[in-house]
Amino acid sequence: MEIDLTKELMRIQTHLARAQDAGLPATLTLEEWVAILKQFQGMCAYCETIPFDALDHLIPLDAGEGGTIALNCVPACKRCNSRKCGYYEDRSMSPAERLEKVRYALQYDLSLPREAYPETKQRKAKLMRLTEQDIQAILKIRQAYGIASDNQAIIYAIHVTARQLEQGLKPQTPNR
Ligand SMILES: [Zn+2]
C-alpha cells in the first residue's frame, strides 16, 4: 500500500481548516492519519472493498461536534461517503460503535436514521442563499480587485459599504 504523503498532508490540512472554521477541535496529524490508513489497509472503512478516496468524519463537522481528530476520521470511498451523507447518529456512541453501525447499515442497504443538525454558525451561513444579483456583484469585486475567494470579496464589499455609509453620514463640505 503506497501513500502519497504530500497529497495526504494537503487533505488533512483542508479538513483541519474546516474544523477550525467551525470552532471544533483540529488536532489530526499526518502520522495519525497514515496510521489510520494503514489500519484499514488503504480501503474504505465502511465497505472495506473499495480503495478510499476521501477523509470522512464519523460525526460530521456540520453537526457542530467531533472535529478533525484521529478518533473521528476514517477513510471512505465516494460511494459510501455519499450514501451516509447527512447521517447523524446517537452522540453517546463511541467512534468504534458508530463506525460499526454505519458499516452494517451500508452493507445491508438499510436506511440510515437521520437527525436534524443543531443550528451551528456554519450551518446558518450555508443556509443563507445568495441572489443572482449578489453573485454577480461578488464576481465583479473579485475580478476588479483580484480577490481569490467569495468570502474575502464579501468581507471587502462590507468594508466598502461601511466606509461609504460613514462618509455619507459626515456633513458635506461645499465644493464652491
Ligand atoms: Zn466504501
- The DSSP H or E segment spanning 76 is strand 73-76
Angle at 101 between CA 99 and CA 102, to 5 degrees: 65
Strand partners, 26: 68
Write out pLDDT tens, residues 90-115.
667 777 888 888 888 777 777 666 66
Domain ranges, ordered by start, for the chain: 5-107, 118-166
- The SS3 of residue 92 is coil
Cα 44 to averaged position of ligand 1 atoms, centre (Å): 5
Q: Who's near 86: CB < 8 A, 6+ residues apart?
A: 60, 114
Longest dimension (CA), the chain: 82
Cell of 103: 458499516
Instruction: Give the residue among 125, 114, 156 at the shortest CA–CA distance from 22.
Output: 125
Average of pLDDT values for 106-126?
Answer: 63
Cα 123 to averaged position of ligand 1 atoms, centre (Å): 26
pLDDT of residue 59: 84
Question: Alpha-carbon distance 172 to 100, whole Å?
Answer: 69
Cα 148 to averaged position of ligand 1 atoms, centre (Å): 34
pLDDT higher for 20 or 134?
20
Cα 30 to averaged position of ligand 1 atoms, centre (Å): 22
Write out pLDDT tens, residues 10-35.
999 999 999 999 899 999 999 999 99
pLDDT higher for 49 or 62?
49
pLDDT higher for 125 or 167?
167
Cell of 46: 465502511
Cα 134 to averaged position of ligand 1 atoms, centre (Å): 38
Write out pLDDT tens, residues 55-68.
999 888 887 888 99
117 band by pLDDT with thresholds 50, 70 and 90: low
Question: Alpha-carbon distance 18 to 22, whole Å?
Answer: 6
Write out pLDDT tens, residues 152-164.
777 777 777 777 7
Cα 87 to averaged position of ligand 1 atoms, centre (Å): 15
pLDDT of residue 136: 81
Q: Against a cut of 0.85, is the pTM above it? A: no
For residue 138, pLDDT over 90 is answered with no
